[in-house]
Amino acid sequence: MKKLRFFLIILLFPSILFAQQRTKIILQSSSLMDVDTKTNITKLKNPVFLHDNALLSSDSANFFTERNYVEFFSNVHINQGDTLHVYSDFLNYDGNTKNAHLTGKVRLEDKTPTTLTTNLLDYNTGTKIGQYYDGGKIVNKDVILTSKRGWYFANTKDAFFRYNVVTVTPQSTIKTDTMRYNTFSNWTYFYGPTNIKGKDDNMYTENGAYNTASENAYFGKKNLYTQGSKSLKGDSLYYDGKKGYGKAVKNIIFMDTQDKTLLRGQLGEYYKADERVVVTKNAYFAMGTKDSITVGQKKIPDSLFLGADTLETQRVLLKSLKVLNRPIVQKNNQVGADEEKEKAEKEKEKAEARKQLAEEAKIKKTTTVETSSIKKLSKKEKKIVEQKAKDLKDNPPTQQQIDRQKFVSDSIRTDSLKADSLLRKIVVNKPVIPLKKDTIKVNKKPNTKVADKNKPAVSTPATKAKLGTTPSTKKDSVVAFNPADTVRTRAIRAYHNVRVFKTNMQAKADSLFYTAADSTLRWYKNPMLWSEGTQQTGDTIHVFFKNDKIHSFQVIQNGFIVNVETDSTKFNQVKGKLITGFFSNGNVRDVYVDGNAESIYYNRDDKGVYQNMSQSVSGRIRFKFDDKELTDITYVKGDEGVTHPIDKLPKETLLTGFIWKPELRPTSKADIIKGLPLKKAPVKPKATTKPKITPAVKGKDPSGIKPILPTKKAEVKPTVKEEKTTDLLKKEIIPRQKIDTLKKN
Give per-residue pLDDT as tens, 480-509.
Answer: 556 557 788 888 999 899 999 988 888 999
Return the minimum-mean-pLDDT range out of 71-75, 236-240, 416-420, 676-680: 416-420
Q: 519: buried, middle or exposed (CB in 10 Å: 19+, 13-18, 0-12)?
A: buried
Give residue-wise pLDDT tens across range 231-244. 888 999 998 888 88
Percent of the chain with pLDDT over 70: 69
Give residue-wise pLDDT tens across range 534-575. 888 999 999 998 888 888 889 998 899 988 866 667 888 889
Return the minimum-mean-pLDDT range out of 29-33, 50-54, 305-309, 501-505: 501-505
Question: Structural domains in the chain?
Answer: 21-113 (2.60.450.10), 524-674 (2.60.450.10)
CA distance 22 to 98: 9
pLDDT at 719: 46
CA distance 516 to 545: 10
Mean pLDDT, all residues of the chain: 76
pLDDT at 6: 47
- Evaluate whether 314 touches 274 at the Cβ level (below 8 Å): yes
pLDDT at 447: 45
pLDDT at 161: 93
- State whether residue 420 is helix, strand or coil: helix
pLDDT at 98: 93
Give residue-wise pLDDT tens across range 322-372. 888 888 877 666 675 555 555 666 677 777 777 777 776 766 665 555 555
- Evaluate whether 559 touches 576 at the Cβ level (below 8 Å): yes
φ/ψ of residue 571, rounded to 5: -115, 120
Return the minimum-mean-pLDDT range out of 204-213, 309-318, 720-729: 720-729
CA distance 590 to 116: 77
Give residue-wise pLDDT tens across range 43-53. 999 999 999 88
Residue 37 confidence class, pLDDT cut points 50, 70, 90: confident
- Evaluate whether 602 touches 653 at the Cβ level (below 8 Å): no
Closest Cα partner for 92 from 58, 46, 132? 58
Q: Which residues of 452-485 are buried (b: 16+ CB within 10 A; e: fewer)?
A: eeeeeeebeeeebeeeebebeeeeeeeeeeeeee
pLDDT at 25: 93
Those residues with Cβ within 8 angstroms of residue 569's Cβ, 6 or more apart along the chain or in another chain: none
- Evaluate whether 131 touches 100 at the Cβ level (below 8 Å): no
Element (H, E) at 597: strand 587-604
φ/ψ of residue 231, rounded to 5: -145, 150
Whether residue 403 is predicted with pLDDT greater than 70 in this model: the reply is no
pLDDT at 235: 92
- Provide the 10 A C-beta neighbour count for residue 54: 21
Of the ranges 387-401, 526-540, 600-614, which is most confident?
A: 526-540
Taking the model in full, what pTM does it have?
Answer: 0.59
DSSP string, 686-729: PPSSPPP--PPPTTS-TTSSS------PPP-PPPHHHHHHHHHH
CA distance 363 to 306: 60
Return the minimum-mean-pLDDT range out of 55-64, 640-649, 672-681, 716-725: 716-725
pLDDT at 198: 87
pLDDT at 322: 85
pLDDT at 206: 92
Which parts of 125-275 are beta strand (E)? 129-132, 136-140, 143-147, 149-153, 158-168, 173-182, 187-190, 194-197, 202-205, 208-211, 216-219, 223-227, 230-234, 236-240, 245-256, 261-271
Residue 161 or residue 648, greater confidence: 161
* 164: region left, alpha or beta (phi > 0 left; psi from -120 to 50 alpha): left
Residue 292 or residue 731, greater confidence: 292
pLDDT at 715: 44
Residue 677 confidence class, pLDDT cut points 50, 70, 90: low
Q: How far is CA 417 from CA 361, 403, 407, 423, 439, in A?
A: 21, 15, 11, 10, 15
Whether residue 691 is predicted with pLDDT greater than 80 in this model: the reply is no
pLDDT at 19: 45
